[in-house]
Amino acid sequence: MHAGESAVGAAKLGAQNVLTESFHFTARPCMYTAIGYAAQTPTSPLAPMTFERRSPRPDDVAIEILYCGVCHSDIHQARNEWGIAVYPLMPGHEIIGRVTAVGAKVTGHKVGDLVGVGCMVDACRHCEACAKDLEQYCLEGPTMTYATPDRVDGSNTMGGYSSSIVVSEHFVLRIPAGMDLPSAAPILCAGITTYSPLKHHGVGPGHKVGILGMGGLGHMGIKLAKALGAEVTLFTRSQAKAEEARRQGADHVIVSTDAEQMRAAAGRFDFLLDTIPVQHDLNPYLETLKFDGVHILVGLIEPIDPPVHAANLVLKRRVVAGSLIGGIAETQEVLDFCAEHDIRCDIEMLDIRNINQAYERMIAGDVKYRFVIDMATLQG
């Protein structure tokens, strides 16, 4: 979807020492200091901020953040474009780090492990969706990694543009051995967002899949659909992206502004994975689906405009569907899948002091395909 300088070395080291030395205490809680970049208002640039992380709990994992991907939704939230932001707002939900301490009840992770944290840090854990490992659809609402009230103490969660984080063990992911760490970060959002619907709808060998758009989501959609065995076509408005699409693994490219190419594609596809984050006309794309074809929205969370013509659905029993990230078990699955198939997100490393310029570049479409912050740059 749609980018100051701080002397933080001593404070970062202090925070790590507090975590490592105090995490197993049960007699009294221990807040600890963290450092990150946050927006204070919808119009202010992100700037350095010192803040308190919550007291670690028995099921918690404390993590030193090494890398954090920059998602377009970070911009929407920082600027309150969805109307749900709370300030100060510290974005970041594509987190890769190293475990510095674990709570007394933690069994799945140990100090020194490389781990990830994606878009969620909690859920009710007892509703029908949670019972099916679909925490993203928690009927009581998932706790997102930032700008959401914590279920225990009510404080607003603060994301991964920071030195460290404390997360319940259930929402901490194992990073497969040998995986490139910076390029693994966006898998926790862009990867799972495209993998989950492909798996849910049973995409595999013999299927023809169209990918709409080739940004952070789209280029991962191409790689994942191809690895699942599908024949993959990129739909793009620009002929200039054809060579790049094939480099990413696409078998074919259709320029959606070319009426002749679109007519030739009528009734060809089993699935369309639509990663376009802005309003667009679905009708020409629906006509490229076979009967019983499915058009899956993963980028758009606004009203469909112009409206879908019902005949494009009714006359061919086509379906318009949606999908939101994925559950924790499935996020672990996509990490393992990417490690097995050597799938990486294409990234550009970012000094966190340049985050505001990075936002502007993202809005202009000037990144291939995901910025990833090197948290070592927090130390200046």
Are 280 and 260 in the same domain? yes
Closest by CA to 370, choosing from 187, 174, 224, is 187
pLDDT of residue 30: 59
Other Cβ atoms less than 10 A from the Cβ of 374: the count is 14
- Model pLDDT, residue 380: 62
As a whole number of angstroms, the distance between CA 366 and CA 359 comes to 10
For residue 72, the enclosing domain spans: 9-189+327-331+345-379
**What pLDDT is attached to residue 240?**
85
Is residue 184 domain-shared with residue 49, that is, in the same domain? yes
Same-domain status, 113 and 134: yes
Q: Greatest CA span in the chain, whole angstroms?
A: 72
Q: Same domain, yes or no, for 216 and 166?
A: no
DSSP state for residue 89 in the 8-state scheme:
B
- Residue identified by tokens 């959606």 is 256
CATH code of residue 271: 3.40.50.720
Torsion of CA 340, 172, 274, 228, to 10 degrees: 20
Q: Which residues of the chain carry a pLDDT beneath 70?
A: 1-31, 380
Q: Does some domain include residue 134? A: yes
21's CB contacts (< 8 A; 6+ apart) are none
**Could you tell me if 174 and 222 lie in one domain?**
no
Number of domains within the chain:
2
Query: Are residue 118 and residue 231 in the same domain, yes or no?
Result: no
Torsion angle (degrees, nearest 10) of CA 22, 23, 27, 33: 60
- Per-residue confidence (pLDDT) for residue 5, from 0 to 100: 24
By three-state DSSP, how is residue 309 classified?
coil
223 and 278 in one domain?
A: yes
Instruction: Report which of 189, 3, 233 is spatially closest to residue 96, judged by C-alpha positions.
Output: 189
Q: Check whether residue 152 and residue 285 sit in a common domain.
A: no
CB 193 within 8 A of CB 322: no
The span from the CA of 221 to the CA of 185, in Å, is: 16
Q: Determine, yes or no, domain membership for 171.
A: yes
Residues 35/11, Cβ–Cβ less than 8 Å: yes
Is 314 inside a domain boundary?
Answer: yes
Nearest-angstrom CA–CA distance, 62 and 214: 35
CATH number at residue 129: 3.90.180.10
CA distance 151 to 378: 29
Q: What angle do CA 227, 232, 234 make, to 5 degrees?
A: 125
List helix spans (H) across the chain. Answer: 9-22, 72-78, 128-131, 181-184, 190-200, 216-227, 242-248, 259-264, 283-286, 311-314, 328-341, 355-363
Residues 222 and 143 in one domain: no
Provide the token pair at 249. 């693994």
Q: 151 and 236 share a domain? A: no
- 67 inside domain: yes
Backbone angles phi, psi at 200, to 5 degrees: -60, -40
Residue 244 lies in a domain: yes
Question: What is the Cα–Cα distance from 38 to 156, expressed in whole angstroms?
Answer: 13
Stated pTM of the model = 0.90
Regarding whether 40 and 170 lie in a shared domain, the answer is: yes
| 67 and 172 both lie in a single domain | yes
How far apart (Å, rounded) are the C-alpha atoms in residues 200 and 159? Answer: 28
User: What does the block give as tokens for 292?
Assistant: 């019983």
Residue 28 domain-assigned (yes or no): yes
The position carrying tokens 């809005």 is 363
- If you write DSSP's letter for every residue of 156-181 in order, what string do you get? BP--SSBSEEEEEGGG-EEPPTT--H
Question: Is 3 among the domain residues?
Answer: no
Q: Which residues, at least 6 apart from 218, have a Cβ–Cβ distance to it below 8 Å?
A: 211, 212, 234, 275, 369
**71 vs 3: CA distance, rounded Å:** 10
